[in-house]
Structure 1
Amino acid sequence: MATDFTVLSDAAVQALFRAFTKDDVKFMAEALRSAFHAYSTAEESKYQLHRSAITRPSGRTTLFMPSTLEIGSSVKMVGVPAPGEDSTLRCTLTICDNIGQCIGVINAGEFTAFRTSLGAMLIFDQRTRVGNIVIFGAGKQAFWHLRLAIILRGKNIECITVINRSQARGSQMVHRVKQECGNAADHIVFHIVEAGDKSREHTYHGDIQCADVIFCTTPSTEPLFSTEVLAASSQSKRYISAIGSYRLDMQEIPPDYLQWYTKLECREILVDSGEAAYLEAGEIVKADIKPEHILEMGQLVERERTTTGEAVRSLQDWLENDNVVYKSVGLGIMDLALGKALIDLARERGVGVRLVDF
């Protein structure tokens, strides 16, 4: 049986994203929340295959990231260049419906940065205080964190500090943010701090201490800041999100901070997948975080839906006002759920190439 088939090029994806309103972002966020919930509470996790990789003699690697949910299935392929080649990743996402009929293909370079960043926004959008934001990194992930943050809470943001090894790249990223956010970013003060090595860490201690939100988007092998710096801060409650490290030899958040957070604060670390966190999140493994201190985002969604009485206020107060840590390594279900939602929006708005008899 023939069905609609949609092709979204990089230009088409960016055209959709550039026109995104707050309602569009919330629509996509709800699709992601539903996918997380299914993964954690409807036994969808047991139907997921772990990503695999093949490296050719040339040194080029292809990653395969499959996923399946009740709504359908998908495979994302990521081309990783050989050492010394252009470092740009090439990503393609293929999506099928729940009977296996292919419904679309998406150029997933920009899309992948968007979907990962959107995961961090699920908590960010609930926070009471978001006035001062510090972000580590200046790549696509960093851009999308700021773009989405401004769409969702731009009126509440006063200052954004970008900390990156290259000030020039940080400036380029801020220029793109201002260009795409338009008037929504006019009142925001941007600072760019060059942090080439540990000897320059003191130059941004003050920014860290004043931060209501810290976004980490770099594949760092060392913590990006110290627990001592946070401890010396008058701003004692903040939201920290880390999405850049994805191997056990990487870490963005200090392991001793995670130990303090889980043992002394008695809080849970929010993750996309507990299983994946122990396989890929270096800071969680280095901190020896126990499973009882890990809470999957889908489990949080379930807790929000089922909590009653006084416990509702306690849960809200934690998510809105207290210390919260979110660690993501990325899941295939994020690609599937958001890719399908994006195809739906593209068809509704006449974006992309559409075949009605594929």
Structure 2
Amino acid sequence: MIPYIWRRNTENIVVYGAGKQALWHIRLALALQGNEIKSIIVVNRSEPRAKEMLDKVAQENSARWKSSATMKYLDPSGPEFDQSLETALADADAIFCTVPSYKPLFPAKYILGQGQRTKKPYVSAIGSWQPDMIELDPDLVKSIVDDTENGFHPERDSAGAILVDDRETILTHVGEAVQSQLKLDDMVEVGKIAHLREHDPDQARKEKLNRWLEEGLVVYKSVGVSVTDLAAGEAILALDKERNIGFHLPDF
């Protein structure tokens, strides 16, 4: 969710899954950007489980965040699922993939379009953590790395990068990296990006980075490492300071 905080537009959200990760991604999205979100679409094989989660979120939203977002379930077994999914993803500002999967959840063309798509979403993929598991189409990953026009890489002007929590782990432990034949230099860790976002002495590069983070096609692949917890904690403290909430314990 750290890169999600940096996004400029978060009106339409698609969520894969109905477990705890999906639930907390929706909760945090509503807590952080609830006033901007217009729609949340959940894709999950189990309709009862998905609707149970959406009912729970709706009750919490009514009591806490009071977002006017619509929430609905998209049934993968429905007769027009592929067309409905393509439409939903084409209009998505954020896509949260939180299910353990052994094949890509959607084809790359649903995100890339035919070269005429203007909306570029933020895609977070946290459901696969083994070499034989995969959520994202390798063609999507390759396209981002090879994007010399709209992509961003802090050290290579003629390439894009996949945002990750830990490069070494991603390289050997997830199907996206294995099947896309990613190299270490094709990935940039979120900690480095957070640092550059605030402290990069190259102003032109800093501006390009922020444009990419705010409105570019950003894919974040995470397997869950301690540095992510640390970065999340820092982000929470920054929000507390910005909103003047919480208590500071200097001798704790």
What code does the residue aligned with 2:162 have?
Answer: I
What code does the residue aligned with 1:296 have?
Answer: E
Which structure is larger by alpha-carbon Rg, 1 or 2? 1
Q: Which residue of 2 aligns with 1:253?
A: 136
Find out whether 1:179 has 2:72 as its counterpart: no
Q: Which residue of 1 aligns with 2:24?
A: 144
Distance 2:79 2:165 in 1: 30
Distance 1:199 1:157 in 2: 25
Shift of 1:203: 3.3
Residues 43-70 of structure 1: per-residue CA shift (max 9 Å, x gap): xxxxxxxxxxxxxxxxxxxxxxxxxxxx
Shift of 1:122: 1.0
Shift of 1:212: 0.9
What code does the residue aligned with 1:230 have?
Answer: I
Find out whether 1:213 has 2:213 as its counterpart: no
Shift of 1:199: 8.6
**Cα 1:292–1:337, aligned 2, differ >3 Å: closer, same or farther?**
closer
The answer as to whether partners of 1:221 and 1:252 remain within 8 angstroms in 2 is: yes
Distance 2:136 2:107 in 1: 8
What code does the residue aligned with 1:237 have?
Answer: K
Distance 2:143 2:192 in 1: 22
What code does the residue aligned with 2:128 have?
Answer: S
Determine which structure has the larger strand proportion and give its number.
Answer: 1
The answer as to whether partners of 1:167 and 1:192 remain within 8 angstroms in 2 is: yes
SS in 1 for 2:103: coil
Identity of aligned residues (%): 35
Shift of 1:337: 8.0
The answer as to whether partners of 2:171 and 2:182 remain within 8 angstroms in 1 is: no
What code does the residue aligned with 1:239 have?
Answer: Y
After TM superposition, the structure 1 = structure 2 runs for residues 55-204 of structure 1, keeping only pairs within 5 Å, are 121-183=1-63, 184-196=65-77, 200-204=81-85
Q: Which residue of 2 aligns with 1:55?
A: none
The answer as to whether partners of 2:191 and 2:231 remain within 8 angstroms in 1 is: no
Shift of 1:311: 2.2
Between 1 and 2, higher relative CO (CA 8 Å, sep ≥ 6) is seen in 1
**TM-score by structure 1 length?**
0.58
How many aligned residue pairs are there? 225
Contiguous gaps of at least 5 residues in structure 1: 1-120, 343-347, 350-358
Contiguous gaps of at least 5 residues in structure 2: 152-158, 237-245, 248-252
1:316 pairs with one of 210, 213, 223: 210
Distance 1:302 1:227 in 2: 30
Shift of 1:132: 0.6
